[in-house]
Amino acid sequence: MRANSVANKILKSIRGKGRGSVHTAKDFLDIDMSRAAVDQTLSRLAKKGILSRVAWGIYLYPKTSKRLGVLSPSLDSVARAAVGKDGVLQVTKARAANSLGLSTQVPARTVYLTDSATRRVIKLGGQSITLRPAGSKTLAGAGKMSGYALQALRYLGPDGVDDATIDILRSHLSPTDKLDLRRVAHKAPDWMLPFVAQLAQGYA
């Protein structure tokens, strides 16, 4: 496949995701070309200013603001791009508890749990994202509110959960989330099962 044709296909795909989207070479492996050729094409697009390289192998289709200039991508979108569309991405216990209003402690570092075999640190200017391997039980419900609920319960521990905690967690769970929580409950530790049953009550 000719270089111009490849670049056009990659650009079409990127533009379809819209400004502010984040990409890696793994996003374009369905195009009939080698990984090296995809890397070279993305690098050329960055040199032309069409893309912006935010970290090694990670590119932003920049979105700009008249007041702020080029807007930085969210850390979530960078982490998602790094693991790929089929990769698993789970929040940490502390982040889940803070996000759901169960803790005022804001995690000092940005860490995500993944199904990757190796640990990876992504540098983003003065910030960094750590992708840390985790087992399948810890990754249960990853990317869904059910995963947030399980991680928040892990953070609180068996002695830190009360009726108020259950009420707060339940308020964040849609019927679909509760069904999903039922589906992954077998991966939760034994002490958590009564709390999971309370959260998913009425959804078999």
**pLDDT tens, 109-133?**
899 999 988 899 999 878 899 999 9
Boundary residue ending a domain (51, 72, 93)? 72
Identify whether the C-beta of residue 21 lies closer than 8 Å to the C-beta of residue 63: no
Which range marks the domain in which residue 65 is found? 3-72
Residue 184 token pair: 């992954």
The number of CA neighbours under 13 Å toward the Cβ of 145 is: 15
Strands 52-55 and 120-124 turn out to be unpaired
| Same domain, residue pair 81 and 173 | yes
Residue 204, in any domain of the structure:
no
Residue count of the chain, please give it. 204
User: Residue 31, Cβ neighbours under 10 Å: how many?
Assistant: 16
Q: Report residue 138's pLDDT band, with 50, 70 and 90 as the boundaries.
A: very high
Q: What is the CA radius of gyration of the chain?
A: 20
Q: Report residue 98's pLDDT band, with 50, 70 and 90 as the boundaries.
A: very high
Boundary residue ending a domain (72, 89, 112)? 72
Query: Per the confidence metrics, is the pTM higher than 0.75?
Result: yes
- CB under 8 Å to 136, separation ≥6 — which residues? 115, 187
